[in-house]
Structure 1
Amino acid sequence: MQEKLERRSFIFTLLLVTVAFGLLLKPFFTAIFWACAVALIFHPSYRFLLQRFPKWPNLTALVTLLLCMVVVIIPVLLVASSFISEVANLYQKVQSGEINLGAKVEQVRAAFPGVNAALERFGLDFDNIKERLLGGLMTAGSLIAKNALALGQNTLNFFVSLGLMLYLTFFLIRDGNALVALLIRALPLGDEREKLLLAKFAEVTRATIKGNLVVAVTQGALGGLIFWVLGLPAPLLWGVVMTILSLLPAVGAAIIWFPAGLYLYATGETVKATVLMVYGVAVISLVDNILRPILVGRDTKLPDYIVLFSTVGGLLMFGISGFAIGPLLAALFMAFWEIFMREFISGTEPLLPSPDKSPLDALEKRNSEQDSV
């Protein structure tokens, strides 16, 4: 009796301390998540270097971290700063009346007189839609401008978080396999299930960031490039917006370049409009079909409707990091239910990584096999 009471008291205290420690780390959740994600993505580079310099794990981890900074972090910071500056500048022009969005919408309306008739058939009023659209654009511009000001005021906090992320990334790159083995030993879910769940975590994180983000950035860069070539305003701004929208299935970059093409037709820029439309269909839209199977792989892809809802929900709940966290939570949700159905309902064994290898190593082998195919 005494032993059972002590055991339960210890478990309760353990849970209490764990929750308290989780609350302690809550302000650094974003930095911790991105440190884990970056370590997973650049783990192959670390292993490649470590095979050639096995006696210098610290140096190889540091070189891998510097590679990450040069390839990812510095370019992202440069683009983000330029994007925020361009948004703030455009918002000021709209507020001052230098850019009249209402007049541009009316110009499109006059060029396509059939739009009014089509909307009236569905009981919609063009003027009401225009007011809501302009109001939404102004609200979005105001929000981005305010966030840009807040970011400028909290630059120190941002760089502190960035520094903590890079610091943690170094240790996760160097000690990743050991930490995974320790986590598998500590969790009480059963080693085989834990290997499956950790492998799914690594798989979906890489697929979302390495695959979906690369596809989105490529589509956004191609969209921004054609806007710049055609002399359209704010090509960097619209390129970044197309990148964000490309993360969402059933939305994509077409929600930007297609209306832009219609506007060019409405203003008499027929050649530019045709070039933009053909380029959007033949180049931007095909990037997803070509790159995604190569970078993501067919086995790791969630259904489009799951990706859409989990991405939007993640963005609403976690901010910009939600585009990766949302699909990850959805994948873990599906993995848990898969384990439950196979082991507790149908009684079949789940597909698990090899027990003598860590999930990272199992995933490395699986990705290399997909690449060779």
Structure 2
Amino acid sequence: MTDQTSDRGFRRLVALVVLIVALAAVYVTKEFLTTIMLSVFMTYLLYPVHQFLHRLTRRRSLSSFLSILLVFAAFVLVATSALSVMATEVSNLSGSEEMIVRHVSSLTSFMDELAGSRLSGPAARWYDQLSDLPAKLLTWGLSILSEGLSGLLSDLPIRFAQFMMAVFFTYYLLVDGGQCVWKGVELLPERALVDRFLLEIHSIYTSLFNVYFITSMLSGLFAAVGFFLLGIPYPVLWGSLVAIFTLIPMVGPLSLILPMSIYYILGQDYLRAVLLLILGVVVLTIIPENVLRPRLAQQGASIHPAVTILAYTAPLFVVGLSGIVVGPFLYGFLLAAYRTAASPSMAESGGSVEANEDELPLCPDSKRPAQ
């Protein structure tokens, strides 16, 4: 009896120590929760490339490394293009500073003369009060831009370290993430329920991450080809920006195409402006949204567009740019939990339905470990 009491006391002590260590581990890791989510995000994005390379190389570690290397190559290409464009435009801007000042001064004088000849009474007073508004808005915008750049530069080392950690996590998730999931599932009760939940969350994350990203990248590719055919400078850079704009809900490619069209209209290049609008509306909006994305989404879960917009947009106002990763991660988890609980097959069988072993994350082709 004394030995049993001693064993129970020892087990409670061990459980308490494990709980304290687990809480301490969560505390010291809390700053990297976003990094872990980013790793899962990148794993789903790179998985199609990883599978293609794995069929060629037959080596999971090599295909994982090559997948990440391709992402770095694309990032270097976009960054190099952006720096080249910035250097060229800054050089042109510094060389034509006097001309810009003359144009702005002449435009301001023209507006003042037009207002003086056409406006009178309250309208003239309102114009005088609003005439300083552009300068004030410019000063306000420059101050915000300066603060944002200073904050970005100060956080750059931390962000770079988090990104490198995410790259390492992504590599190992691509290599043996599926086996890790299976081994974790083996330790849990309610195996059928957990299998069903993993099946749901995999299909949802595939739709939120994979399909959304692939559609955005294809839109960027179409845009780059279209810009090249239209003779627009820096087609690769503009195509990359279209891909990024397409990736962000409530922004879309038209947020870039419309200003470009207005620019060419002001330059009296009406044909190019019209072709740009056709490119933005038909090729970059209608075809991706109504042809590409539905076909790709057939392989994943059916998610209402409102849920997708909410998942990608709402967290941006709370956690900033990282909300693009955190939002779909959290909303997808909750949606998977709801669908698991509301699944008719689970309700009819009392939780005895087991998911197909070839369909679970993170690597659907990984097999359940032998019993």
TM-score (norm: length of structure 2):
0.68
Task: Please state how far the C-alpha of 1:320 moved relative to its aligned partner.
Answer: 4.3
**Deviation digits for residues 232-259 of structure 1, max 9, x if unmatched?**
5665554444323312445311122123
Task: Please state how far the C-alpha of 1:297 moved relative to its aligned partner.
Answer: 2.5
Which residue does the alignment assign to 1:288?
289
Which residue does the alignment assign to 2:273?
273
For 1:307, the aligned partner's letter is T
For 1:264 and 1:18, how far apart are their aligned partners in 2? 60
Task: Please state how far the C-alpha of 1:333 moved relative to its aligned partner.
Answer: 1.0
Structure 1 pair 196/323, CA: closer, same or farther in 2 (3 Å)?
A: farther
Which residue does the alignment assign to 1:191?
191
For 1:352 and 1:130, how far apart are their aligned partners in 2? 64
For 2:173 and 2:298, how far apart are their aligned partners in 1? 25
Q: Is the 8 A contact 1:247 1:323 kept in 2?
A: no
Match status 1:73 vs 2:61: no
Q: Is the 8 A contact 1:30 1:321 kept in 2?
A: yes
Which residue does the alignment assign to 1:203?
203
SS at match of 1:360: coil
For 2:233 and 2:130, how far apart are their aligned partners in 1? 25
Structure 1 pair 223/51, CA: closer, same or farther in 2 (3 Å)?
A: closer
For 1:16 and 1:164, how far apart are their aligned partners in 2? 25
- Listed as ranges, the gaps of 5+ residues in structure 1 are 55-59, 111-124, 366-373
Which residue does the alignment assign to 2:123?
none
Aligned pairs for 1:118-133 (under 5 A) are none
For 1:293 and 1:299, how far apart are their aligned partners in 2? 10
SS at match of 1:354: coil
Structure 1 pair 176/352, CA: closer, same or farther in 2 (3 Å)?
A: farther
Task: Please state how far the C-alpha of 1:203 moved relative to its aligned partner.
Answer: 2.7
For 2:242 and 2:249, how far apart are their aligned partners in 1? 12
Task: Please state how far the C-alpha of 1:332 moved relative to its aligned partner.
Answer: 1.2
Q: Is the 8 A contact 1:223 1:284 kept in 2?
A: yes
SS at match of 1:251: coil
For 1:274 and 1:44, how far apart are their aligned partners in 2? 36
For 1:79, the aligned partner's letter is V
Which residue does the alignment assign to 1:17?
21
Q: Larger C-alpha radius of gyration, 1 or 2?
A: 2
Which residue does the alignment assign to 2:212?
212
For 1:253 and 1:314, how far apart are their aligned partners in 2? 21
Q: Is the 8 A contact 2:213 2:247 kept in 1?
A: yes
Aligned pairs for 1:163-202 (under 5 A) are 163-187=164-188, 190-202=190-202
Structure 1 pair 127/325, CA: closer, same or farther in 2 (3 Å)?
A: farther
Structure 1 pair 30/88, CA: closer, same or farther in 2 (3 Å)?
A: farther
Which residue does the alignment assign to 2:245?
245
For 1:290 and 1:34, how far apart are their aligned partners in 2? 28
**Deviation digits for residues 16-70 of structure 1, max 9, x if unmatched?**
322321232334434433443444555577678878988xxxxx12211232034
Task: Please state how far the C-alpha of 1:184 moved relative to its aligned partner.
Answer: 1.5
For 2:93 and 2:277, how far apart are their aligned partners in 1? 26
Task: Please state how far the C-alpha of 1:88 moved relative to its aligned partner.
Answer: 8.3
Q: Is the 8 A contact 1:211 1:292 kept in 2?
A: yes
For 2:86 and 2:188, how far apart are their aligned partners in 1? 46
SS at match of 1:359: coil
Which residue does the alignment assign to 2:62?
63
For 1:127 and 1:4, how far apart are their aligned partners in 2? 80
Q: Is the 8 A contact 1:249 1:304 kept in 2?
A: no
Task: Please state how far the C-alpha of 1:126 moved relative to its aligned partner.
Answer: 9.8
Q: Is the 8 A contact 1:46 1:64 kept in 2?
A: yes
Structure 1 pair 22/283, CA: closer, same or farther in 2 (3 Å)?
A: same
Q: Is the 8 A contact 2:204 2:300 kept in 1?
A: no
Q: Is the 8 A contact 1:192 1:352 kept in 2?
A: yes
1:32 is aligned, of 27, 32, 36, to 36
Q: Is the 8 A contact 1:265 1:273 kept in 2?
A: yes
Q: Which segment drifts farther, 77-86 or 296-305?
A: 77-86
Which residue does the alignment assign to 1:326?
327
Which residue does the alignment assign to 1:115?
none
SS at match of 1:74: helix
Structure 1 pair 264/26, CA: closer, same or farther in 2 (3 Å)?
A: same
**Deviation digits for residues 173-192 of structure 1, max 9, x if unmatched?**
3322321122223446x322
Which residue does the alignment assign to 1:120?
none
For 1:69, the aligned partner's letter is I
Task: Please state how far the C-alpha of 1:13 moved relative to its aligned partner.
Answer: 4.6
Structure 1 pair 18/77, CA: closer, same or farther in 2 (3 Å)?
A: farther
User: What is the aligned residue count?
Assistant: 338
For 1:207, the aligned partner's letter is S
For 1:337 and 1:308, how far apart are their aligned partners in 2? 19
- Listed as ranges, the gaps of 5+ residues in structure 2 are 112-128, 367-371
Aligned pairs for 1:37-186 (under 5 A) are 37-40=41-44, 60-80=59-79, 82-83=81-82, 86=85, 98=97, 138=142, 142=146, 145-146=149-150, 149-150=153-154, 154=157, 160-186=161-187
For 1:246 and 1:41, how far apart are their aligned partners in 2? 15
Which residue does the alignment assign to 1:57?
none
Task: Please state how far the C-alpha of 1:348 moved relative to its aligned partner.
Answer: 7.2
Task: Please state how far the C-alpha of 1:10 moved relative to its aligned partner.
Answer: 5.6
What's the % identity of the aligned pairs? 21
Structure 1 pair 95/44, CA: closer, same or farther in 2 (3 Å)?
A: closer
